[in-house]
Amino acid sequence: GDDVRQSLLSSLQGSYLGMVPYAFLLATPTGVLADRLKHDFPLIAEVIITKEFPRTLAVTVKERMFFGIMCNDKVDEAVALQEGRQTQCAYLDTQGFAYQQAPQTHGFLIVKISTDMPDIAVGTQLIEKEMMRRIVEISQKMPSVIGTPVTGYEFLSAIPHEVRVMTKQGFFLMIERDT
């Protein structure tokens, strides 16, 4: 809302070569503005900016859909302690994009994706989109197929071609990453 509006207004301050104001509609770089908004507000999945003459910019924003929390809590603890690392977590959307730092989670209310990746970088694609599509589908269908919900996933470098699917009942399934 207001934060996005303020960001746009501040981006439109100044001028090209000191002569043509950025806010002059014909000179307004909508693609650059859209990219800046997505960078400044990682919760934005998609932004469309259109020019409506004579003096209006129409901004349409689509927010990311929350899926779960991804943590690198499977990093070798001895190595992590030696290097002074702490567990990192991020909110993950349904496309596998990390959009904000998150606290560690425990329990069954939020899907947790555990990994041994050394870094969980906010603003990056942590899980490939096709793999994430499969994960979302598994999470949606699992309760009706086997009678228990998915509580988490594990992506481990020791088993690079498989993903562990954790269930509320305490057992896990292995699925292939590449199919």
144-178 core/surface letters (b: 16 or more CB in 10 A; e: else): eeeeeebbbbbbeeeeeebbebbbeeeeeeeeeee
Tell me, what's the pLDDT at 9?
A: 67
Tell me, what's the pLDDT at 24?
A: 58
What amino acid is encoded at 16 in this protein? Y
* pTM for this predicted structure: 0.79
Residues 92, 66: Cα–Cα separation, whole Å: 6
Nearest CA to 102 out of 118, 122, 132, 80 is that of 122
Residues 168, 17: Cα–Cα separation, whole Å: 61
Per-residue tens of pLDDT for the chain, all 179 residues: 678 778 776 766 666 566 656 555 556 678 888 888 888 888 899 999 887 877 777 889 999 999 999 999 987 765 666 677 788 999 999 999 999 999 998 888 899 999 999 889 999 999 999 999 999 999 999 999 989 999 999 999 889 999 999 999 989 999 998 75
Angle value at C-alpha 90, between 179 and 97, nearest 5 degrees: 45
Tell me, what's the pLDDT at 108?
A: 82
Tell me, what's the pLDDT at 33?
A: 83
Alpha-carbon distances, residue 178 vs 88, 111, 128, 162 (angstroms): 26, 22, 11, 8
Under DSSP, is residue 11 helix (H, G, I), strand (E, B) or coil? helix
